[in-house]
């Protein structure tokens, strides 16, 4: 378990010389424009930093139905469109988004004296590096995942391009944040990142709530017992392992029904695979669901399974644990540091359907232990992964960086 959390009383205030610290946060997705977990992370962090007294400005990709600027939960949200908005090449589109972000930030800086830039992943790296030099302020970057980690290596030209952009962003950043000790070791091994430059601060999770029932989300679940999983529907999330487990369970006559939620490029492929394998009675890929629907489905499930092959942290695991559900995680990446096996959750071998079924069987056969594991997992999430605490720890890093900048300026005079 990461040991960087400190008592709240020891943390610095969010002010420098009697004024608010002003943050410029760059991310390519921000609610309600949600592609993956990054959007939820930036939302939780920015909202709680604003509550602490920071002046937070988020620049993100625009949506036609949303205003270019609005203040939500004390956070200033500035939405921009790529200069080549209709370009179907994703890398070109991202380049145009970075130009638009840099232009908007430069305009904002004419009226706002920002103390710090906080970038999230390589997708906003070009704008972040440009603005660091243009505004002459420190750059803090959170690395949520890497191309090397997602693909277990670099094999194509596009992967090499992204890898080099990640490397450049890390090099130009004054400080780096990662969500787990696993990710810190990963950056050291793959990018030779300076140990002193990388700080481990875990992801946070909001206390979930829902007024819906599972049957309102999916009518067939009204009286049905099911195992729940959720994530972006891509290879590295390991949902093929669930399909394989469902097939084995069918052959063995086990009464397991899996519900997998989320959107992504592999969704239709997996749905077709389920039909071809005649597993419609064992597993359902339900597609995109809202946060409230997610909470309702977690709340009524018997257990949760997060079978990722690659996972820097595993925020969806925290969301299940926060609702007191016994949760099975792949023994990989940052997820293996979240729980203690058979105490606050269970670990399965990544990509191993038999291992998954073994953990499911244990929970099915030991309902009292399953309930205790769910309860202990909930306690861990509440005590260590609440957003207020994560924001305080992040704010300490930001405060130190902004203060160091002021000290350096004073010494030059």
Q: pLDDT tens for residues 23-38? A: 999 999 999 998 878 9
The SS3 call for residue 59 is strand
Does the structure show a pLDDT above 80 at 49?
yes
d(CA 154, CA 161): 10
- CA-CA distance, 389 to 6, in Å (whole number)? 9
The rounded mean pLDDT for the chain is: 92
Cα-based distances in Å from 244 to 58, 233, 279, 357 = 42, 16, 10, 10
Per DSSP, 192 falls in state -
% of residues, the chain, pLDDT over 70? 95
Instruction: Report the DSSP pairing between strands 75-80 and 55-61.
Output: parallel
The model's pTM: 0.84
36 and 120 within one domain: yes
pLDDT band at 383 (very low <50, low <70, confident <90, very high): confident
Q: Looking at the structure, do residues 18 and 167 belong to the same domain, yes or no?
A: yes
25-39, 95-109, 186-200: segment of lowest average pLDDT: 25-39
Clarify whether residues 172 and 30 are in a common domain: yes
Domain of 291 in residue numbering reads as 214-384
Q: In this structure, is residue 116 part of a structural domain?
A: yes
- Mean pLDDT, residues 384-389 taken together: 90
Residue 105 falls inside a structural domain: yes
Of 197 and 3, more confident = 197
pLDDT of the residue at 15 = 61
Whether the per-residue pLDDT at 83 is higher than 80: the answer is: yes
Residues 186 and 315 in one domain: no
Same domain, 82 and 122: yes
Q: Kindly provide the b/e burial profile for residues 328-343, where b requires at least 16 CB atoms within 10 angstroms of the residue's own CB.
A: bbbebbbbbbbbbeee
Query: Count of domains in the chain?
Result: 2
Beta bridge partners of 80: 61
364 in the same domain as 246: yes
Residues 195 and 300 in one domain: no
Residue 407 has pLDDT above 90, yes or no: no
74, 135: one domain: yes
Q: Which residue has the higher pLDDT, 244 or 150?
A: 244
Q: Which pLDDT score, from 0 to 100, does residue 18 have? A: 61
Q: Residue 230: inside a domain, yes or no? A: yes
Co-location of 175 and 295 in the same domain: no
Contacts 24+ apart (CB under 8 A), 45-50: 45/204, 45/387, 45/390, 45/391, 45/394, 46/75, 47/73, 47/74, 47/75, 47/387, 48/204, 48/387, 48/388, 48/390, 48/391, 49/14, 49/23, 49/391, 49/394, 49/395, 49/398, 50/74, 50/75
The pLDDT value recorded for residue 65 is 94
331 and 372 fall within a common domain: yes
Looking at the structure, do residues 312 and 377 belong to the same domain, yes or no? yes
DSSP-assigned beta bridge partners for residue 390:
none
> How far is Cα 56 from Cα 318, in angstroms, rounded to an integer?
26
Query: What angle, 0 to 180 degrees and rounded to 10, lies between the N-to-C axes of helices 315-322 and 367-384?
Result: 120
pLDDT at residue 294 tops 90: yes
- How many whole angstroms from its chain centre is CA 2? 17
Asked if the structure places residue 209 within a domain, the reply is no
Indicate the pLDDT class of residue 338, thresholds 50, 70 and 90: confident
For residue 162, the Cα-to-chain-centroid distance in whole angstroms is 19
Is 405 domain-assigned?
yes
Distance CA 112, CA 19 (A): 12
Name which of 7-11, 168-172, 369-373 the model is least confident about: 7-11
Query: In this predicted model, which residue has the larger pLDDT, 79 or 405?
Result: 79
Predicted pLDDT at 5:
44
The answer for residues whose C-beta is within 8 angstroms of residue 231's C-beta and 6 or more apart is 237, 239, 262, 306, 308, 316
Question: Rounded CA gap, 381 and 344, in Å?
Answer: 10
Q: Are residues 129 and 21 in the same domain?
A: yes
Best CA proximity match to 392, nearest among 145, 176, 202? 202
172 within some domain? yes
In a domain, 111, yes or no: yes
Percent of the chain with pLDDT over 90: 78
| CB contact at 8 A, 294 and 230 | yes
Cα separation of 321 and 130, whole Å?
Answer: 40
Partner residues linked to 252 by β-bridges: none
Q: What local confidence, expressed as pLDDT, does residue 4 receive?
A: 43
More confident residue, 355 or 388: 355
Tokens representing 165?
């952009």
Position 59 confidence tier, pLDDT thresholds 50, 70, 90: very high
Asked whether residue 1 is domain-assigned, the answer is no
Residue 288 CB coordination number (10 Å): 13
pLDDT at 14: 60
CA distance 327 to 302: 10
> For position 376, which CATH number holds?
3.40.50.2000
The per-residue pLDDT for 11 is: 42
């Amino acid at each position: 378990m990461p040991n960087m959390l400190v008592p709240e009383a020891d943390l610095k205030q969010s002010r420098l010389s009697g004024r608010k610290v002003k943050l410029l946060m760059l991310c390519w997705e921000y609610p309600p424009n949600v592609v993956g977990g990054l959007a939820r992370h930036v939302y939780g962090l920015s909202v709680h930093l604003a509550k602490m007294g920071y002046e937070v400005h988020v620049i993100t990709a625009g949506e036609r139905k949303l205003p270019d600027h609005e203040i939500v939960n004390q956070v200033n949200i500035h939405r921009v469109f790529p200069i080549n908005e209709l370009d179907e090449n994703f890398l070109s589109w991202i380049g145009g988004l970075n130009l638009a972000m840099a232009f908007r930030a430069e305009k904002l800086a004419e009226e706002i004296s920002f103390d710090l830039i906080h970038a999230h992943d390589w997708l906003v790296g070009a704008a972040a590096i440009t603005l660091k030099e243009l505004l002459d302020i420190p750059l803090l970057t959170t690395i949520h995942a890497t191309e090397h980690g997602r693909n277990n290596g670099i094999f194509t030209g596009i992967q090499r391009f992204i890898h080099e952009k990640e490397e450049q962003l890390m090099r130009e950043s004054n400080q780096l944040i990662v969500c787990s000790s696993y990710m810190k070791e990963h950056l050291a091994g793959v990018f030779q990142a300076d140990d002193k430059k990388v700080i481990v601060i875990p992801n946070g999770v909001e206390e979930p709530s829902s007024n819906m029932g599972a049957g309102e989300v999916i009518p067939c679940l009204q009286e049905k017992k099911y195992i729940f999983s959720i994530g972006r529907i891509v290879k590295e999330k390991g949902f093929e392992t669930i399909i394989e487990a469902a097939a084995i369970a069918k052959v063995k006559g086990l009464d397991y029904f899996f519900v997998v939620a989320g959107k992504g490029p592999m969704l239709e492929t997996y749905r077709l695979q389920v039909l071809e394998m005649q597993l419609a009675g064992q597993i359902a890929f339900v597609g995109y669901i809202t946060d409230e629907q997610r909470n309702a489905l977690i709340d009524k499930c018997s257990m949760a399974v997060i079978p990722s092959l690659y996972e820097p942290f595993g925020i969806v695991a925290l969301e299940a644990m926060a609702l007191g559900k016994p949760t099975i995680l792949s023994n990989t990446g940052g997820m293996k540091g979240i729980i203690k096996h058979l105490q606050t959750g269970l670990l399965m071998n990544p990509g191993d359907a038999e291992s998954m079924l073994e953990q499911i069987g244990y929970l099915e056969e030991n309902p009292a232990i399953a309930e205790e594991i769910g309860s202990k997992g909930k306690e861990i999430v509440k005590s260590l992964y609440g957003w207020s605490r994560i924001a305080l720890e992040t704010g300490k890093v930001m405060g130190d960086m902004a203060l160091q900048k002021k000290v350096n300026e004073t010494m030059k005079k």
